[in-house]
Amino acid sequence: MVGVCVAAFVIHLIPLALPRNMPEQELAIARVSKSVESRVKVLLPLKEHPKATAAELREAAELLFDGAPVEAQELALEAQKREPAAVETQLLLARLCDQQRMERCVHAALEKANQVAPGDPRPDVLRAELQEKIGDMSGAAEAMTRAYQKAPDDPLMGLRYARLLSAARRPEEAWSVLTALHGKVPRARLLVEQGLVLGANGRDSEAVRLLKRATEEDPRLSFAYFELGKALYRMGEMDGAREALRQADRLDLGSPKALAALCAMQLQAKLLDDARLTRMDLERRFSDRMELIRQSCSLP
């Protein structure tokens, strides 16, 4: 029996002793590696590997995205050489260029993406996200208009489009887009989105009515209670806001968002004792999210 166990152990060690000549092996090592430097050492040689596919090079670039964007861009450019018509490569290059604040490079990658896949909405969606990130809501809405025109039957696209139109101070157009989504998204979710459009336009009392209807349609929809709490707070109804946010928290125990919003409201309303209790809840349940807690619930 001991001999059999030893033999089995040796057999399992054999693959580790063999030379690695497949990109998938390097990717597997990089996925479990915590160090950016070790990932670069393993993945950058894939640029010269004759067996590496464009998809594998893109995955390697994604693994280096946060810590080594220059090396990630080298891998993405090699992926472009091996598969010039892949829109995914251009989207990756655009994100890498944006991370390095190279606007002309971003523009070139998105233009190329539109050329290789003129009917694909993803380049326009990415442009909308990048514009929204810098606070250009009008530019984001325009980009999303182009994306929506390419995929008008996609309900998630419609919801994102309506949000951006609302943020760009175009509430009538946002409402029209949401109206077209009747029957394509759950009624409670649609009521919440309509409430958000009203609230963004200063019509909080109407927004509250719609958000309350959403909670009646789907009493398990945490998102509806969360937005209801914010709308009630804007109307000065602190007790109602607290109860709505507490219910949102009860329905989504894995997210600190509702309690963080409640604490921020309590601090703004100078309800310091209540804020301390809320912060204690946050620290007890989300000790791994201390930065978020400090930002939203910083007690004097």
pLDDT tens sequence across 223-235:
999 999 999 999 9
For 135, the enclosing helix (H) or strand (E) is none
The predicted structure's pLDDT at residue 7: 59
**Buried b or exposed e, range 145-177, using 16+ CB within 10 angstroms:** bebbebbeeebebbbbbbbbbbbbebbebbbeb
pLDDT of the residue at 34: 87
pLDDT digits (tens, 9 = 90+) for 29-74: 999 988 999 999 999 999 999 999 999 999 999 999 999 999 999 9
Output the CA–CA distances (angstroms, integers) from residue 24 to 16, 17, 55, 211, in the order listed.
Answer: 14, 16, 11, 49
- Directed axis angle between helix 69-82 and helix 87-99, to 10°? 160
Residues in the chain: 300
193 CB-contact burial (10 Å; exposed 0-12 / middle 13-18 / buried 19+) = buried
pLDDT for residue 264 is more than 90: yes
Task: Please state the rounded mean pLDDT for residues 206-220.
Answer: 97
Q: Model confidence at 9, in pLDDT bands (50, 70, 90)?
A: low
Residue 131: in which H helix or E strand, if any? helix 122-133
Fill in the DSSP letter of residue 182.
Answer: B
